[in-house]
């Protein structure tokens, strides 16, 4: 159906139909036996398998990709930011020990270019496959006048499940070990500062730098769930906006803090470049970026070696990066 009146206002509904057709294959490959076929239309359906759960608890998370999207738009490369979108939501809910079940996305664009939307959704599907969740719905909204034609914004929503008795809480004790799991780079936070440091948007973006910055956020779901199955995990922190100083304390009981040893792991060169070029103090770097550690897990010291072995088996680098101590202020030494 063609709607010339709506098209004259800047909204092309036929482009929306075309985008849906292009993304169907990618959406389908995220589905499993819990996703009913050809039912619904206005809502995403999911039939959870509750066998093995005594007291199932649903855990949800929502987030976006932030101004990292500006890099994708400048490079006209849109097939990885969907991975970031899933990561930002799924990595949050596994901090409770929850297994992601399903995901929904929201794409807001100035102009619906079906091929571009399909690239974005391909990335979302890639992320869902890696996180082990089904993409069961979404929305693409064309908003002429609100966004420039070549710009878009993304938001996502993820729901997971855990048994109440197995939820990861705040049970750390003084002397416990911090296990840091390596990040894939800057991930998806701090990009307003990154863009300021490299003057991105006001000058031509170097393609090599842009592609380095677009490296997708690591999705830690399956390795961390395996860790939880085998080792008593006392707290998990997703290192996103606010860096070490904001996120690590969120998984600790009151009265305890963390001592992080900065030379205990390899810091990716991109962070040194950002700090040097932007003349950014060390404390601000650790309070903004992940500094090479995308997730922190708290365990008893005697379990450290086994934990690192489990994570390494999944292809992730992991390190003992510090310990839990009494106090209020997190320290990086």
pLDDT at 240 over 60: yes
* pTM of the predicted model over 0.75: yes
Mean pLDDT in residue range 60-80? 97
Nearest CA to 327 out of 260, 265, 282 is that of 260
Nearest CA to 83 out of 274, 220, 182 is that of 220
The predicted pLDDT at position 248 comes to 98
Please write the tens of the pLDDT for every residue from 120-147.
999 999 999 999 999 999 999 999 999 9
In a 3-state reduction of DSSP, which class is residue 204?
Answer: coil
To which residue do tokens 């159906």 refer?
1
Confidence of residue 202 (pLDDT cuts 50, 70, 90): confident
Report residue 246 as tokens.
């904001």
To which residue do tokens 């390795």 refer?
223
Confidence of residue 10 (pLDDT cuts 50, 70, 90): confident
Report residue 110 as tokens.
């100035």
The predicted pLDDT at position 275 comes to 98
Query: Which range among 4-8, 38-42, 141-145 shows the weakest confidence by mean pLDDT?
Result: 38-42
């Amino acid at each position: 159906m063609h709607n010339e009146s709506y098209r004259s206002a800047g909204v092309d509904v036929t482009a929306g139909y075309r985008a849906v057709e292009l993304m169907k294959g990618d959406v389908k490959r995220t589905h499993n036996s819990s996703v009913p076929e050809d039912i619904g239309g206005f809502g995403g359906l999911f039939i959870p398998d509750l066998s093995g759960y005594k007291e199932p608890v649903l855990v949800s998370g929502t987030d976006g990709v932030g101004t990292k999207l500006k890099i994708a738009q400048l490079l006209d490369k849109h097939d990885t930011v969907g991975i970031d979108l899933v990561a930002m939501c799924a990595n949050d809910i596994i901090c409770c020990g929850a297994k992601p079940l399903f995901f929904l996305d929201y794409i807001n664009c100035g102009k619906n270019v079906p091929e571009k939307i399909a690239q974005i959704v391909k990335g979302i599907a890639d992320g869902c496959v890696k996180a082990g969740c089904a993409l069961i719905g979404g929305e693409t909204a064309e908003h002429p006048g609100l966004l420039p034609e070549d710009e878009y914004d993304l938001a996502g929503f993820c729901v997971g499940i855990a048994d109440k008795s197995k939820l990861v809480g705040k049970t750390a004790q003084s002397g416990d070990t911090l296990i840091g799991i390596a990040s894939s780079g800057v991930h998806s936070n701090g990009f307003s500062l990154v863009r300021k440091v490299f003057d991105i948007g006001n000058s031509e973006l170097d393609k090599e730098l842009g592609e380095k910055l677009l490296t997708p956020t690591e999705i830690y779901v399956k390795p961390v769930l395996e860790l939880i199955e085998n080792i008593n995990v006392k707290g998990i922190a997703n290192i996103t906006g606010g860096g070490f100083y904001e996120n690590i304390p969120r998984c600790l009981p009151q009265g305890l803090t963390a001592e992080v040893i900065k030379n205990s792991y390899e810091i990716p060169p991109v962070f040194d470049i950002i700090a040097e070029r932007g003349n950014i103090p060390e404390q601000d770097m650790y309070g903004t970026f992940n500094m090479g550690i995308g997730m922190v897990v708290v365990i008893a010291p005697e379990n450290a070696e086994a934990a690192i072995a489990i994570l390494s088996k999944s292809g992730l680098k992991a390190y003992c990066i510090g310990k839990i101590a009494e106090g209020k202020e997190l320290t990086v030494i």
